[in-house]
């Protein structure tokens, strides 16, 4: 189901954009093959079309197995917190140049945080005092990490990007409380988020080219590009959906 949702829009954007890069000499012809097979991210080829779709389909395959076992566990929060330790190990190995492909494992702790949040939603669970205490302590650990990772201390192997592990869930919980009254707008953006992303990393990443067509100041340009990205994403989603319905109707006939 997720492949049917993702791949049509992915190919509609990826193929012409990759051909555009090939014609401009910014990517080899093989980039089209690697991007089409979703292997570009995993083998680090030139001309790779971002990492997201190639990576996320693997996690969709893993989700059912992981979700069932996390749901049955009595220590799901501790298991999720333990997954974060993998990041520290991987980062040390990468810094010491053991295996640069270990960067893919950076995604797994965030993956387990997402599963945990999915369980909260699936169970329609209200957070209790123990949950709030845990995530408050989790955020406090993030603040300690931030203090240790400040450039003035020069502590090795503590990049700022890992703050994402500590801030994601607390920010999600705070965001849910703040955005209760913006459901319709958020749902609209969420339903079309794949197409918005695909256009963002292809068409709207060509900033120099687009700004030559739209001679606006920096602020007005990005303000306009922001809304155009969302609008075109919605139109792309509906266009692909209409095309898929026509194909299915022809097959039925």
Measure the CA–CA gap between 219 and 199, rounded to whole angstroms: 20
pTM of the model: 0.60
pLDDT tens-digit map of 60-108? 888 888 888 888 888 887 777 777 666 666 666 666 665 555 666 667 7
Which stretches in the chain have pLDDT values below 70? 84-106, 151-159, 161
pLDDT of 33: 93
- The pLDDT value recorded for residue 94 is 65
- Report the C-alpha dihedral over residues 14, 19, 24, 28, rounded to 10 degrees: 90
What is the C-alpha to C-alpha distance for residues 105 and 145, in angstroms, rounded to an integer? 20
Would you call 154 exposed, middle or buried from its count of C-beta atoms within 10 A (0-12, 13-18, 19+)? Answer: exposed
In this predicted structure, what is the pLDDT of residue 115?
87
């Amino acid at each position: 189901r997720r492949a049917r949702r993702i791949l049509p829009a992915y190919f509609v954007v990826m193929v012409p954009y990759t051909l555009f890069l090939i014609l401009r000499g910014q990517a080899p012809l093989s980039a089209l093959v690697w991007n089409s097979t979703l292997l570009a991210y995993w083998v680090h080829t030139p001309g790779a079309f971002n990492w997201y779709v190639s990576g996320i389909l693997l996690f969709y395959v893993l989700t059912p197995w992981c979700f069932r076992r996390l749901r049955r566990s009595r220590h799901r929060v501790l298991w999720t917190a333990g997954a974060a330790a993998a990041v520290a190990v991987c980062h040390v190995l990468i810094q010491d140049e053991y295996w640069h492909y270990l960067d893919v494992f950076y995604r797994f702790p965030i993956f387990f945080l997402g599963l945990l949040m999915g369980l909260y939603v699936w169970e329609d669970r209200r957070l209790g005092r123990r949950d709030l205490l845990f995530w408050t302590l989790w955020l406090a650990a993030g603040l300690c990490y931030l203090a240790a990772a400040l450039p003035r201390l020069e502590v090795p192997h503590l990049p700022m990007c890992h703050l994402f592990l500590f801030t994601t869930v607390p920010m999600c919980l705070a965001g849910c409380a703040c955005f209760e009254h913006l459901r319709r707008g958020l749902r609209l953006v969420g339903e079309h988020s794949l197409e918005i992303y695909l256009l963002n990393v292809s068409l709207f990443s060509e900033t120099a080219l687009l700004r030559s067509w739209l001679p606006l100041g920096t602020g007005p340009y990005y303000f306009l590009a922001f809304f155009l990205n969302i609008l075109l994403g919605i139109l792309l989603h509906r266009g692909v959906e209409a095309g898929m319905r026509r194909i299915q109707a022809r097959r039925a006939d």
